[in-house]
Homo-oligomer: A and B are copies of this chain.
């Protein structure tokens, strides 16, 4: 049995997965702030999983952790997980001995991509497009992450699609993330609120012109990312996830309208049937935690489970 954890800025989602890849236990709890509290959160979540009826803690064989930060390739070292208050943390050192289990760590978007691919049937080519504070994608081919040459694969958020577009925090103008990233939208909306992107949608529905511009920009950015992922890597399916995807059908309707408009303008785009290739990760999906479990599983099975 493998454990997978998706350590998010507010909540940690933990699952226990059996050898067939089926989730047999799941717990969620608040994430602590800073390296010590994050490590404690993970250890406590694993212990809580062991108390779930039907889950046998003595059968745990590996722990995979998906975390919103840079993971040094081939290590368990996390850098710059700013939303967790973590500048640097070696998770094997921090939790490996407490759990007495092998630990593997992966960036949360990449882990979610693996999990979304497994939930989607585990075959073919897929991109998982994470719409959160920032925008990034994970590309999965037959159960394996496309890592690229230097770790920048899927960084579509910082592709500029409009030289006259808004300034991105990366320094460029018109990046996809400057249009569609949660932080960029909140900054341009500049109205306090706990769910600024939802507020923008509501205000746009009420006719606020600034909100309508921001909302249209979000759809433009997401549609541009979908086109880029298909026209470059030719993924079969693009699955939308991340905090902004909680807007559900309201978001999908905008993105579909944007993709339909470009398909009407271009017979080439029309032939790609992009609107049929975009799907929304269901709310509450355990994709990220499941993907983390698959990352951990690769420790003892060399990816056989991950590849289904």
Chain A residues in contact with chain B, CB under 8 A?
124-125, 137, 139, 146-156, 158-164, 168, 170-172, 224, 227-236, 262, 265-269, 272
Q: Within 8 Å CB of A156, what residues of B? A: 231-232
Q: Give chain B nearest CB distance to A299 CB in angstroms.
A: 24
Do A268 and B233 form a contact, CB below 8 Å, given A125-B148, A149-B124?
no
Q: Give chain B nearest CB distance to A63 CB in angstroms.
A: 28
Q: Give chain B nearest CB distance to A121 CB in angstroms.
A: 13
Q: Give chain B nearest CB distance to A235 CB in angstroms.
A: 6
Residue contact A266 to B236, C-beta cutoff 8 Å: no
Q: Within 8 Å CB of A159, what residues of B? A: 227-228, 231-232
Residue contact B232 to A269, C-beta cutoff 8 Å: no
Q: Give chain B nearest CB distance to A135 CB in angstroms.
A: 11
Q: Is the interface of A mostly helix, strand, loop or mixed?
A: loop
Residue contact B234 to A158, C-beta cutoff 8 Å: no
Q: Within 8 Å CB of A265, what residues of B? A: 171-172
Do A170 and B234 form a contact, CB below 8 Å, given A227-B159, A228-B159?
no
Q: Within 8 Å CB of A268, what residues of B? A: 158, 170-172
Residue contact B235 to A170, C-beta cutoff 8 Å: no
Residue contact B149 to A125, C-beta cutoff 8 Å: yes
Instruction: Give Cα A168 to B267, complex, Å.
Output: 11
Q: Within 8 Å CB of A149, what residues of B? A: 124-125, 234-236
Instruction: Give Cα A160 to B156, complex, Å.
Output: 14
Q: Nearest CB to that of A232 among chain B residues? A: B232
Q: Within 8 Å CB of A158, what residues of B? A: 231, 266, 268-269
Could you give 9 example pairs across A and B, Cβ below 8 Å?
A137-B232, A148-B233, A155-B234, A160-B227, A170-B266, A171-B267, A172-B266, A172-B268, A228-B232
Instruction: Give Cα A108 to B152, complex, Å.
Output: 28
Residue contact A232 to B229, C-beta cutoff 8 Å: yes
Q: Within 8 Å CB of A233, what residues of B? A: 139, 146, 148, 153, 232-233
Q: Within 8 Å CB of A125, what residues of B? A: 148-149
Q: Give chain B nearest CB distance to A267 CB in angstroms.
A: 6
Q: Within 8 Å CB of A269, what residues of B? A: 158, 170-172
Cross-chain contact of A267 among B137, B170, B224 (Cβ < 8 A): B170
Residue contact A234 to B172, C-beta cutoff 8 Å: no
Instruction: Give Cα A236 to B137, complex, Å.
Output: 18
Q: Nearest CB to that of A266 among chain B residues? A: B171
Q: Within 8 Å CB of A163, what residues of B? A: 161-162
Q: Which 3 A-B pairs have the closest CB atoms?
A: A148-B234, A171-B266, A149-B236
Q: Give chain B nearest CB distance to A173 CB in angstroms.
A: 8
Instruction: Give Cα A232 to B235, complex, Å.
Output: 11
Q: Within 8 Å CB of A164, what residues of B? A: 162, 164
Instruction: Give Cα A224 to B266, complex, Å.
Output: 20
Q: Nearest CB to that of A163 among chain B residues? A: B162
